[in-house]
């Protein structure tokens, strides 16, 4: 297999395992342990918080040590975290396991993106789209599998949760076995870099306003996505929709995203990324507002698909635009910074939405995410466009 195909298959298994641990089981498991909505938001945000603190060092270290070493470390976490859920008996133990599990994706995604951008230049948006499709297939299958297990064992909730996390453990172990076959990719970074080189590279990324604003757009859509994946299951359950139905909502959003992302990535390669990013944010704002209004199966299903389109339109252009604005020797630092900012959005989404839902109900939490997307799109549209490295 080519390095790219091996990376895609590893990503599929890893993200299947990671998503299965949280969607739709995590809010239901936390509630089973006695959590209220704000505590559900806290638990959901813990793994994303790990990404805030780990993504930047992961990207910088991949620039310095090579991509393969960091990808293997992330695969070890994917394999070792899932069995710990089987030992959880209270909310704080669940939060600790989520914190550890968060290192897996925090290390894997920015380093994998940096590797892709090492290998591709003119078609980086499309190739990132294909990699995302592979990981999103894992995200698509996980809610279906998790929802089916929860529905099948609904009479014995404790057993149903253990069954989901046992399957999660199998997926993580398979991802580790495949990751061991990844080739040594250090050559893609040209040379080993010193710690001072890595810090200077990261400072240059932070100083680029266009890069930071592009990352802000990804954070805004992840804020909305964190709200969606955490509170749509509880919102739907309150309307009498089964766990299996909730799994269909989540999977519909993901399959639309997986099928369309290579196309929108190719579109951004050919027609530019800036307008596409703004359009994706506005579509997402409409979808999030829709969740606050709808209470029956079909409208919620269609709105979930619309939100999947917004994610596809925006995220197929943001990471590629950051790579366009970065120098090759800073790809790891740039992708790590993007991962950290994304996780800030993903972390604050469930936290803020949990507080709003506790005070005003689930509907207003979706409205809040819609407002965030509109505000971010306006700020991005008014900012200067930025220049690629060869024109700076």
Report how far residue 252's alpha carbon sits from residue 49's, in angstroms, rounded to the nearest whole number: 26
Average pLDDT over residues 168-173: 95
What confidence score (pLDDT) does residue 188 get?
42
Token pair of 107 as six digits = 């290390």
Q: Give the C-alpha separation, 283 to 374, whole Å.
A: 9
| Token pair 């940096």 in the structure block, residue | 114
Task: Read off the pLDDT band of 247 (50, 70, 90).
Answer: confident
Question: Which region among 76-90, 174-188, 324-338 has the lowest average model confidence (pLDDT)?
Answer: 174-188
Structural domains of the chain, count: 1
Specify the pTM: 0.79
Please give the pLDDT value at position 155: 72
Looking at residues 251-255, what average pLDDT do you find? Answer: 81
Distance CA 18, CA 139 (A): 8
Q: Six-digit token pair at 56? A: 């930047």
- Residue 190 clears pLDDT 70, i.e. is over it: no
Chain segment 7-20, per-residue pLDDT in tens:
999 999 999 999 99
- 187: confidence class by pLDDT, cuts 50, 70, 90: very low
Tell whether the model's pLDDT for residue 209 goes beyond 50. yes
Instruction: Look up the domain containing 266 and give its range.
Output: 3-391
User: What token pair was written down for 390?
Assistant: 């060869």
Measured over the CA atoms of residue 190, residue 273, residue 390 and residue 57, the dihedral's sign is negative
- Max distance between CA atoms of the chain, in angstroms, equals 63
Q: Is the pLDDT of residue 385 over 50?
A: yes
Which three-class secondary structure string do you get for the chain? CCHHHHHHHHHHHHHHHHHHCCCCHHHHHHHHCCCCHHHHHHHHHHHHHHHHHHHHHHHHHHHHHCHHHHHHHHHHHHHHCHHHHCCCCCHHHHHHHHHHHHHHHHHHHHHHHHHHHHHCCCCHHHHHHHHHHHHHHHHHHHHHHHHHHHHHCCCCHHHHHHHHHHHHHHHHHHHHHHHCCCCCCHHHHCCCCCHHHHHHHHHHHHCCHHHHHHHHHHHHHHHHHHHHHHHHHHHHHHCCCCHHHHHHHHHHHHHHHHHHHHHHHHHHHHHCCHHHHHHHHHHHHHHHHHHHHCCCHHHHHHHHHHHHHHHHHHHHHHHHHHHHCCCHHHHHHHHHHHHHHHHHHHHHHHHHHHHHHHHHCHHHHHHHHHHHHHHHHHHHHHCCCCCCHHHC
Angle at 255 between CA 292 and CA 156, to 5 degrees: 70
Spatial separation of the C-alpha atoms in residues 247 and 147, rounded to whole Å: 5
Q: What is the pLDDT of residues 274-319, one digit of tens each?
A: 999 999 999 999 999 999 999 999 999 999 999 999 999 999 999 9
Task: Look at residue 387 and tell me whether its pLDDT is greater than 70.
Answer: no
The answer on pLDDT for 185 being more than 70 is no
> What is the pLDDT confidence band of residue 391, given thresholds at 50, 70 and 90?
very low
pLDDT tens digits along 97-144: 999 999 999 999 999 988 888 777 778 888 889 998 999 888 878 888
**Cα separation, 32 vs 94, whole angstroms:** 12
**Residue 273: both structure tokens together:** 């990324």
Q: How confident is the model at residue 192 (pLDDT cuts 50, 70, 90)?
A: low
Extract long-range pairs of 295-301: CB within 8 Å, 24+ residues apart.
295/239, 296/239, 297/241, 297/245, 300/232, 300/236, 300/241, 300/249, 301/248, 301/249, 301/252
CA 354, distance to chain mean position in Å, is: 19
Range in 1-10, 291-300, 365-374 with the lowest mean pLDDT: 1-10
Give percent of the chain above pLDDT 90. Answer: 52
Question: What is the rounded average pLDDT for all residues in the chain?
Answer: 88
Supply the CATH number for residue 128's domain: 1.20.1250.20
Specify whether the CB–CB gap between 250 and 145 falls below 8 A.
no
Q: How many CB atoms lie within 10 A of CB 48?
A: 24
Question: How far is Cα 60 from Cα 337, in angstroms, rounded to an integer?
Answer: 9
Higher-pLDDT residue of 184 and 107 is: 107
């Amino acid at each position: 297999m080519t390095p790219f195909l091996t990376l895609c298959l590893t990503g599929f298994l890893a993200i299947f395992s990671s998503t299965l641990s949280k969607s739709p089981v995590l809010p239901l498991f936390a509630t089973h342990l006695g959590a209220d909505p704000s505590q559900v938001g806290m638990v959901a945000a813990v793994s994303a918080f790990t990404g805030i603190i780990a993504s930047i060092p992961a990207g910088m270290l991949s620039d310095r040590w090579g991509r393969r070493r960091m990808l293997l470390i992330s695969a070890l976490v994917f394999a070792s975290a899932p069995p710990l859920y089987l030992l959880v008996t209270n909310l704080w133990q669940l939060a600790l396991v989520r914190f550890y599990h968060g290192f897996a994706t925090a290390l894997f995604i920015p380093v994998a993106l940096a590797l892709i951008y090492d290998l591709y230049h003119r078609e980086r948006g499309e190739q990132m789209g294909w990699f995302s499709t592979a990981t999103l297939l894992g995200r698509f299958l996980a809610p279906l599998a998790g929802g089916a297990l929860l529905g099948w064992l609904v009479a014995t909730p404790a057993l149903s949760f253990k069954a989901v996390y046992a399957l999660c453990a199998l997926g993580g172990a398979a991802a580790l076995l495949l990751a061991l076959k990844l080739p040594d990719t250090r050559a893609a970074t040209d040379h080993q870099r010193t710690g001072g080189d890595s810090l200077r590279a990261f400072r240059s990324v932070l100083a680029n306003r266009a890069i930071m604003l592009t990352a802000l757009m990804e954070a805004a859509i992840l804020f909305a996505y964190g709200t969606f994946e955490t509170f749509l299951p509880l919102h739907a359950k309150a309307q009498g929709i089964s766990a299996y139905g909730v799994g269909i909502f989540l999977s519909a959003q993901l399959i639309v995203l997986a099928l369309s992302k290579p196309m929108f990535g190719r579109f951004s390669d050919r027609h530019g990324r800036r307008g596409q990013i703004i359009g994706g944010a506005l579509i997402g704002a409409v979808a999030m507002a829709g969740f606050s209004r709808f209470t029956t199966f079909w409208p919620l299903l269609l709105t979930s698909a619309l939100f999947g389109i917004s994610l596809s339109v925006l995220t197929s252009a943001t990471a590629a635009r950051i790579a366009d604005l970065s120098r090759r020797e800073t790809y790891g630092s740039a992708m790590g910074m993007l991962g950290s900012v994304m996780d800030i959005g993903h972390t604050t989404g469930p936290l803020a939405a949990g507080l709003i839902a506790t005070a005003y109900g689930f509907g207003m939490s979706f409205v809040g995410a819609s407002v965030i997307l509109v505000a971010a799109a306006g700020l991005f549209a008014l900012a200067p466009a930025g220049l690629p490295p060869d024109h700076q």
